[in-house]
Chains A and B, each alone.
Chain A
Amino acid sequence: MSEPNAGPARYEIVRREDFSDVTYLLEVRHPEMARAARPGQFVIVMSRPEGERIPLTIADFDGERGTITLVIQAIGKTTREMQRDLAVGGSLYALVGPMGHPSATDGVKKVVCVGGGLGVAPIFPQARAFHEAGAYVIGVIGFRNKDLVFWEDKFRAVCDEFIICSDDGSVGMKGLVTEGIKVAASRHSDIDRLIAIGPPIMMRGCAELTRTLGITTIVSLNPVMVDGTGMCGGCRVRVGGRTRFACVDGPEFDAHTVDFDDLMLRLARFKAEERAALERWQQSCRIEAQPAAIASRQEGS
């Protein structure tokens, strides 16, 4: 609790880890949120006052350390700029959450936790929660190749079975996560839930497969949103023939009732603006880099 007239809260970055060129981890101090967060919830982050509000699923939380962990993929302008600029000792301008309904872990005896792309990290606290609740946990995690693998030991610690899938077969089995799910399903006929987090195309693939397998499936949706509190309606998705807001009605929904075409349409809303922002930013990075390059050449001469 801050005292009256205390300065603005500072969301300090206490740890950073780079898993690859595109994937990085930020551990941020926020003791209240670390206590409140539950698996399945997300936060909204602004890196600086002129920045945009971006939703990120919580990848881990530690009440004792008083921190939450975010794993971010540098894809667009904001996430790349954060990758370039945010370091230990620095801070985020805004961090609000935890948002959305926590996921339900009760009553599940055997669960498959599927993560791919940006969904690898956020599926971890789910797997851990199921493990702690006494469920038999099968982890199915997809990476494009061996070099992108991270948190294998963390997953192995909470999974009774762990299947890595890679696009090129350089690690684990070759193929998409749906291939991994087929393997799990062939070994176990009593899977009573599957959770999938990742790109919409992956989640749709999982949903189509589990529909035929008859496995209850939950997906976590991450559409474009502004406030994250039910106010803008930007994150609306069609679920079960109704308009739902991912931020306050979700972010998790029954995968077999989600209209993935609608979701993908919603995610592509700002494609042109996103591309333009990224190109402009990369251009400005090159211009900024030039004087430095000239200076280093002069030093060398």
Chain B
Amino acid sequence: MAAKKRTIRTIPRERTPMAEQPAAERARNFREVACGFTLAEALRESERCLLCPDEPCVRGCPVGIDIPGFIAKLGEKDIHGAFDVLSDTTLLPAICGRVCPQETQCEQVCTVGQTLEPVAIGRLERFVGDAAISESWSSVPFIEPAGFKVAIVGSGPAGMACAADMAKAGCQVTVFEAFQQPGGVLRYGIPEFRLPNEVVDAEIAKLVRLGITFRTNVLVGRLFTIEQLLTEMGFDAVFVGVGAGTPTFMDIPGEALARVVSANELLTRVNLMHARDFPSFDTPLGIGKKVAVIGAGNTAMDAMRVSLRLGAEKVMCVYRRSRDEAPARAEELHHAEDEGVQFHWLTNPIAILDDGSRGVGALRCQRMELGEPDASGRRRPVAIADSDFDLDCDTVVVAIGTDANPILGQTSGLALDDRGYLAVDADLATSIDGVFAGGDIVTGAATVIEAMGAGRRAARAMKRYLGLVDSDVPYDDGLGAAPFGLSGSGRDYVRVRAV
């Protein structure tokens, strides 16, 4: 430990590159784009962290991961130790290391980043998370039964994070999911080449080891209501993390034609229903060879890159503003560009033309120019007169955003805000006593880590509501404790303190 103090002059100057599949190759397969660090690469990158005392990265992280702490352990080649540090604050390092927008969070404020490129925190987190999965490590919280039953509605990132915290606090947690498999947007939304389903499975298996029950095929609101969870079903508290996810359409002529789909539908067919393996799987895909994707957010980028991998010859991005206003992460935009997506900036779709047999023949667009800033602070796109033209395509994917899912508003007494999202107070408490909510159903579409952060904040509020105090001995070596959860060996399963 008495190693020489690192300074900005002694650390490796260049950020350690991560191997990626070449663009031309990866654009035709569903394997992960970014291949991950080797141990040598991870060790080298860990040396770039100054372990600086003011730790701006920790404050930059929505869940407050002890970033220097895990990187220090990694530097000592104690990967399990690094995993334990991560496990104190995040349950899903293999997921967050992949899908967090680190460039606007921890890495943006990294001290090294003021002079050189910032430490590749996300890649290091992924390295540790992947090691934990391949070695079947799981954190070993010291769980004391608290005697409370907690229901989590929605098994996406917000629900997973809240479920984990409540299980660690000793609650008997049941997660309800409407689909046949848990994971929410991590399962149906984010494609395999960014987040393999195996990683989602592994992270969910960890939650099962915490004693959490997953009930799939349950549509809360319709099978039973939020109110029934608290009354007839005996739950002491409820967290609602159902996501936003009701796609909006443009209301332009031709939207009913076959091969006009929402990005949500395309991604769900491919990611959850395995439509790319049709006919081995029964769900058909319904896209053609020339795909126009409307929108330029992260979901749009996913839809474009999925379309390429499904064998589309031409994939186009159609966006009414310019590249500078595109809401997608910079890295996603780069990836899409590298893989050969054609971008049509300042292009506004006005009609989808019939090919004569009720399919898509073309996308009629008009050219735009940027005017004065609008309410969002971005310059408003204004149509250029007589600039209509037709883009040749046989499929249109609409990826212009989502609205709040209406089901809970229809079936419960939960108060909504004026946009239809759930109304919550500063503690994420809803209008019904004992019911908390977080993630996209509160904020509108945001990121995975923000949803996880909301799930954890709601868990803190829920614990206060139930009068629970977290154990001050969160981890245990296993002595004198009775096994609980799935059987395992050594420290790799959850234990309950003998009462």
Give me the interface of A with B, judged by CB distance under 8 Å.
1-6, 8-9, 32-33, 36, 41, 46, 49-53, 77-78, 93-99, 101, 226-234, 236, 238, 243, 245, 248-249, 262, 265-266, 268-270, 273-274, 276-277, 280
CB distance from B214 to the nearest CB of A (A): 9
Q: What are 26 residue pairs bridging A and B, where the CB atoms are less than 8 Å apart in the complex?
A: A2-B215, A4-B213, A9-B217, A36-B223, A77-B282, A78-B282, A96-B217, A97-B219, A98-B219, A99-B219, A99-B222, A226-B273, A227-B268, A229-B178, A229-B219, A230-B406, A231-B405, A232-B264, A233-B246, A233-B264, A238-B256, A243-B251, A248-B407, A266-B256, A270-B284, A270-B286
> Known: A5-B485, A227-B179. Is A50-B265 also a contact (CB below 8 A)?
no
| Docked-complex contact A94 and B233, CB < 8 angstroms | no
| Docked-complex contact B222 and A98, CB < 8 angstroms | yes
- CB < 8 Å: which of B216, B233, B279 contacts A1? B233
User: When chains A and B are docked, how far (Å) is the Cα of A50 from the Cα of B218?
Assistant: 19
User: When chains A and B are docked, how far (Å) is the Cα of A227 from the Cα of B269?
Assistant: 10
Which parts of B275-300 form the interface with A (CB within 8 Å)? 278-286
User: When chains A and B are docked, how far (Å) is the Cα of A243 from the Cα of B256?
Assistant: 9
CB distance from A242 to the nearest CB of B (A): 8
Which parts of B464-489 form the interface with A (CB within 8 Å)? 485-486
| Docked-complex contact B258 and A93, CB < 8 angstroms | no
Q: Is B389 an interface residue (CB 8 A)?
A: no
Nearest B residue to A8 by beta-carbon distance? Answer: B216
User: When chains A and B are docked, how far (Å) is the Cα of A78 from the Cα of B219?
Assistant: 23
User: When chains A and B are docked, how far (Å) is the Cα of A245 from the Cα of B405?
Assistant: 11
Nearest B residue to A238 by beta-carbon distance? Answer: B256
| Docked-complex contact B180 and A93, CB < 8 angstroms | yes
- CB < 8 Å: which of B215, B259, B281, B398 contacts A50? B281
| Docked-complex contact B249 and A233, CB < 8 angstroms | yes
> Known: A5-B213, A98-B223, A230-B407. Is A265-B249 also a contact (CB below 8 A)?
no
User: When chains A and B are docked, how far (Å) is the Cα of A226 from the Cα of B218?
Assistant: 15
| Docked-complex contact A234 and B265, CB < 8 angstroms | yes
A residues in contact with B281, CB < 8 Å: 50-52
Number of A-B residue pairs having CB atoms within 8 Å of each other in the complex? 144
User: When chains A and B are docked, how far (Å) is the Cα of A283 from the Cα of B108?
Assistant: 58
| Docked-complex contact A233 and B222, CB < 8 angstroms | no
Which of the four size classes fits the interface of chain B? 35 or more
Q: Is B199 an interface residue (CB 8 A)?
A: no
> Known: A265-B358, A266-B256. Is A96-B219 also a contact (CB below 8 A)?
yes
Nearest B residue to A47 by beta-carbon distance? Answer: B282
A residues in contact with B188, CB < 8 Å: 227, 231
Top 8 A-B residue pairs of the complex, sorted by shortest distance between their CB atoms: A273-B284, A232-B265, A52-B282, A233-B262, A269-B258, A96-B217, A94-B180, A233-B247
User: When chains A and B are docked, how far (Å) is the Cα of A36 from the Cα of B220?
Assistant: 11
- CB < 8 Å: which of B208, B247, B285 contacts A231? B247
- CB < 8 Å: which of A2, A229, A265, A280 contacts B407? A229
Nearest B residue to A259 by beta-carbon distance? Answer: B256
Give me the interface of B with A, judged by CB distance under 8 Å.
172, 174, 178-180, 188, 208, 211-213, 215-219, 222-224, 233, 245-247, 249, 251, 255-259, 261-262, 264-265, 268-269, 273-274, 278-286, 358, 398, 405-407, 410, 485-486
Nearest A residue to B411 by beta-carbon distance? Answer: A101
| Docked-complex contact B268 and A268, CB < 8 angstroms | no
> Known: A50-B280, A77-B282, A280-B279. Is A231-B264 also a contact (CB below 8 A)?
yes
CB distance from B497 to the nearest CB of A (A): 18
| Docked-complex contact A94 and B216, CB < 8 angstroms | yes
Nearest A residue to B180 by beta-carbon distance? Answer: A94
CB distance from A121 to the nearest CB of B (A): 20
B residues in contact with A230, CB < 8 Å: 245-246, 405-407
B residues in contact with A46, CB < 8 Å: 180
| Docked-complex contact B274 and A50, CB < 8 angstroms | yes
| Docked-complex contact A33 and B358, CB < 8 angstroms | no
| Docked-complex contact B279 and A2, CB < 8 angstroms | no
List 7 additional A-B contacts (Cβ < 8 Å) besides A46-B180, A248-B246, A280-B279: A2-B213, A98-B222, A98-B223, A233-B265, A243-B251, A248-B405, A265-B358
User: When chains A and B are docked, how far (Å) is the Cα of A272 from the Cα of B215?
Assistant: 35
User: When chains A and B are docked, how far (Å) is the Cα of A95 from the Cα of B233?
Assistant: 21
B residues in contact with A99, CB < 8 Å: 219, 222
